[in-house]
């Protein structure tokens, strides 16, 4: 059975490029991005992990801890990190999990046999402080991820968690958000004092609450 949105993310203990970790203990009360890559010393993955390292401050200000994973060893990760730092002009500053026995990959359904029987696809999970899965995105091995989209989704998820709003299509940080149907129109002024626009009884927008 694969993980679904709202499921509790499986805890695990693992060896990583930053030492041994217990996943839940490592996260504490932070959000998490856990993402897999098909293998070390591969070109697309090298650019992805470089981009992740370059976005360190963006993840930090959102209280997000990032962990990467592949089925390669810690020794392999360590050598590859040197290449990432050199070619991408960064310093990798997050753990890369060594999942040689594939137990974590199997728990998170990161191996899709019709794509590859021994390598993880590009799975990405956003996990909340409550350890529940908030988002799942899966890419094929050939397509690098859009990290600006990942940051956008984190912003949306955190707005929902903190303010009970939703975000419309193509929403960007700072734009108006949607008042969820569970909030009655007559209750909007007290909850959202910046005002609101009634487009339809079921479609109400309000300025982003934390801006």
HSE-up of 182 (CA within 13 Å, CB side)?
A: 5
List the Cα angle 99/129/11 in 5-degree steps.
30
Helix (DSSP H) and strand (DSSP E) numbers for the chain: 7, 11
Residue 140 contacts residue 45 (beta carbons within 8 Å) = no
Residues with catalytic function: 45
Pairing of strands 13-16, 165-166: unpaired
Helices 43-54 and 147-163: crossing angle in degrees, nearest 10, is 50
> Looking at the chain, how many residues does it have?
211
């Amino acid at each position: 059975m694969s993980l679904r949105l709202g499921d509790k993310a499986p805890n695990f203990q693992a060896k990583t490029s930053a030492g041994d970790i217990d996943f839940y203990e490592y996260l504490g009360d932070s959000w998490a991005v856990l993402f897999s890559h098909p293998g070390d010393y591969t070109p697309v993955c090298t650019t992805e992990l470089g981009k992740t390292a370059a976005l360190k401050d963006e993840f930090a200000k959102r209280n997000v801890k990032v962990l990467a994973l592949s089925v390669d060893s810690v020794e392999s990760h360590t050598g590859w990190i040197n290449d990432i730092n050199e070619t991408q002009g960064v310093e990798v500053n997050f753990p890369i999990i060594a999942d040689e026995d594939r137990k974590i990959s199997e728990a998170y359904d990161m191996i899709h046999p019709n794509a590859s029987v021994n390598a993880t696809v590009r799975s990405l999970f956003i996990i909340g402080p409550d350890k529940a899965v908030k988002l799942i995105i899966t890419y094929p091995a050939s397509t690098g991820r859009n990290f600006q989209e990942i940051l956008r989704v984190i912003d949306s998820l955190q707005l929902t968690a903190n303010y009970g709003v939703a975000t419309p299509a193509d929403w960007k940080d700072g734009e108006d958000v949607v008042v969820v149907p569970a909030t009655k129109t007559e209750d909007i002024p007290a909850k959202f004092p910046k005002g609101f626009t009634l487009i339809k009884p079921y479609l109400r927008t309000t300025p982003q609450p934390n801006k």
